[in-house]
Amino acid sequence: MSTIEDDDNKKRIDKYIDENDCQQKDYERVFVRGKKKILSVYSLPTEFLYFNIQNGRFAAEYREKIRTEGGVLEPKSPADEKKIQKMLLDLDPAQTKLDKKDFSEVGQRKAGVITPDGYVIDGNRRLALITSLFAETQEERWKYMDVARLTETLEKEDLWRLEGGYQLGKEQQQKYGPINTMLKIREGKDAGLSNKQIADALYGVKEKEIEDILDRLKLVERYLEHINAAERYSFADGKDNHFINLQAIIKNAKQRGYDHVKITNMKTAAFQLIFEGKKHHDIRKINQAITAELEGAVDGIVKAGGEIDTSENKPDTIKSRALQQEVDAVVDEDGNDNDSNDNDGNDKPLTPTDTRFHDLTDELNVHNNRDRISILLKSAEKNLKFIVETSELGEEIKKTESKSVIEQIFRHVQKLKEKING
């Protein structure tokens, strides 16, 4: 939304208010420049109201749309208006259905907030619902929306403070989703606000949280570049905990004196593991290995990160993988939660990064059970039993590397027997 006022539309609204008995009995309280203002509420024709394309509720979806379709959307354009409306309603189709039913039975419960020239600061989704209901029913009541109208044009910093207070309060953040929340907060930085000013505008959010959120967004965007899906934020949906865990990894590595190259390669390996379908608690294991000072395991992850060829990454495989996981969940009659050590239930060969991750997981398991020898012995026995009893070993067991590992196992067993026998 531009801070340059649409004077023509402002005059249309002024004229309508002067000539019609449209002022409601309700009032809306807002804070502008730290001061409380009481705004009058009017019932205005929706044709005077414009969607705010900077609305945090669909920021990620909007960026992805303009990237894939080219150009920006113009709220004054009827065709673009319909696209914006659809994006808002499609964010949560089930909730949209419920809200339409509620609107039909009760009407609009809460007034929106608009600029003097009709851009919606708070209530974009309500505007989408009302215009959709009119298109479906042609009922006269859906030609109007109750809105509180600001009395002055705000500078972008003050406008963001007002928007942010409505959109990103603690109770609202869940509705917006992690990525849209992050994008809205960065918009505040771009508007010239400091981290403290943003935190103060959001009521109950600490300055350190703002810093963490902005750093997390950088990781998300770097990840999207890694998978060749720049600004296609939908490919990072549902992965907020992955990036929270990655932040913890980076912080821990820095505190332990890891150099920039090592941290960068570790981060790249984590991106690849996320892309390959690892769960957020799997990513956490890298941090656990750092804390446990398992240098060999960590170095393996670092090496893997330095060898990755990102040109082979195709983001659409994420969606096909998710579909396969849904199918597997239905087919799995035992209801087992497949561990990542089972290669996520797939028969595909391990990738180089996944191989290194399995090595790290094995070392971490040994470390965590170092005082429980029986557990380690049983695990070793189960693995060996499986290998011995498998009839389809193929050529894998005949490889030089496999033969070398078998020889090492023999030597370890011999030493163990010597210890037992005294």
> 203-257, pLDDT tens digit by residue?
778 999 999 999 999 999 999 999 999 888 989 999 999 999 999 999 999 999 9
Range 168-177, long-range pairs (CB < 8 A, 24+ positions): 168/56, 168/202, 168/205, 169/202, 169/203, 169/204, 170/202, 170/203, 170/204, 170/205, 175/57, 176/56, 176/57, 177/60, 177/237
Please answer whether residues 219 and 271 qualify as being in contact, where contact means their C-beta atoms are separated by less than 8 angstroms: no
Are residues 59 and 174 both part of a single domain? no
Supply the pLDDT for residue 102: 95
Are residues 22 and 148 both part of a single domain? yes
Are residues 97 and 173 both part of a single domain? no
Q: Which residues form the domain of 125?
A: 7-154
Are residues 294 and 352 both part of a single domain? yes
65: which residues sit within 8 A by CB, 6+ positions away? 73, 83, 87
Please answer whether residues 202 and 169 qualify as being in contact, where contact means their C-beta atoms are separated by less than 8 angstroms: yes
In the chain, the percentage of residues whose pLDDT exceeds 70 is 85
Are residues 26 and 150 both part of a single domain? yes
Count of structural domains within the chain: 3
Are residues 131 and 41 both part of a single domain? yes
Supply the pLDDT for residue 167: 65
Are residues 297 and 275 both part of a single domain? yes
Please answer whether residues 129 and 99 qualify as being in contact, where contact means their C-beta atoms are separated by less than 8 angstroms: yes
Are residues 133 and 259 both part of a single domain? no
Element containing residue 263 per DSSP (H, E): helix 260-275
Are residues 267 and 210 both part of a single domain? no
Q: For residue 385, tell me if it sits in a domain.
A: no
Supply the pLDDT for residue 202: 80
Q: For residue 272, tell me if it sits in a domain.
A: yes
Averaged pLDDT, 345-370: 83
- DSSP annotation of 24 reads E
How far from 415 is each of 109, 163, 420, CA to CA, in Å? 77, 69, 9
pLDDT single digits (tens) 5-46: 789 999 999 999 999 999 998 888 888 877 888 999 999 999
Q: For residue 291, tell me if it sits in a domain.
A: yes
Are residues 184 and 213 both part of a single domain? yes
Are residues 148 and 212 both part of a single domain? no
Supply the pLDDT for residue 337: 46
Are residues 271 and 356 both part of a single domain? yes
